[in-house]
Structure 1
Amino acid sequence: MSKAVSAMNGASFAGLAKVTETGLGGMITLRGDFASAKFQTAVKAATGTQVPATRKIAFGDRGAAAWMSPDELLLLVDYDSADAVVAKLSEDLATEHHMAVNVSDARACFAVSGDAAREVIAKVAPVDLEAGQFEAGDFRRTRFAQVAGAFWLDETGSFHIVCFRSVAVYMYDLLCTAAHPQSKVGIYA
């Protein structure tokens, strides 16, 4: 069996902000009834955190849970444990209507960090990133120019982006162009 590799093999660019492909990450699409006690318990067992509020991401000691829609979460776990987590979720939710799928190899992940990170993301995603409007723990599904993606802001001010692996090169090039030193707009500076 071949060794799993990330979409961009750790590519990195430094400009107005630093753009980095962050490598392999375990990602699970989980659909179900958020109000169900069994569902909530299964999410807690998988990640160590509760079901997040709308448009939020919550972190636990074993991973994170991100709100994707009223009945869908994106669970972030260790890459090597994703299959086992899916199996346990399926076992824990066997009597409930649900779907749990390991989508790790179908996704690519990037980080944008630095003083101009907000500006870089704002250039390519139609989201109000004004401080106070988008803060640490906020999560959005949106478009980045021509492709679908999702992102959140962490406590250090870095943005984390998830997109389909098939558009990883496009996403990386897009973020690098938005971070190019000669592209400064200065709206959040």
Structure 2
Amino acid sequence: MITFPLSISANWQCSSSVTGLSLLEQEWLFEPHSLTAKLKNNARSFSVKVLSEQAFSLTKEQQQLLGSSASKALNREVLLLCDNIPMVYAQSWLPNNESQALLHNMGERPLGDVIFQHSALTRNNIEIARFGSSHALQLLVAQLNLPAQPMLGRRSVFSINDYHFLVCEVFLPGAYLYS
């Protein structure tokens, strides 16, 4: 049985120190714009399946990444599906902040559809991680009946004005970047 939130602990590396990526992997991992829009452009249908959305205590590492002393955040876990095939497992940490309550009531709406509409949106450097065959995410892969294989993920901190939030996206087996 899977318990949410899933751990995405990994050896996160700044993009400049990651080697051995194919051009296709680089294209997807370093996409500077909305991953949601990129996925939509490559599929006939796109949908979001919410796996979990709950209050969560931020770890010291997450607080440091966010440059925040906030202790609580909304943890949102979703699958991004293209033509009903799970392509991306995404997790976001949205610190409690009344000015950004809109991001706390997303339902099945993609986060990317909302945040990339803000002219004040900025993103810090993209970090990359590899998730091996023994990583906890493989439980989700098995539940989705996808082949067990190493996966790649990316994370970055976004800011809208003074509000900072962390987003992590892991490309599931069969995702476009493995074509």
User: What is the TM-score of this pair, normalised by structure 1?
Assistant: 0.30
Which structure would you say has the larger Rg? 1
More strand by share: 2
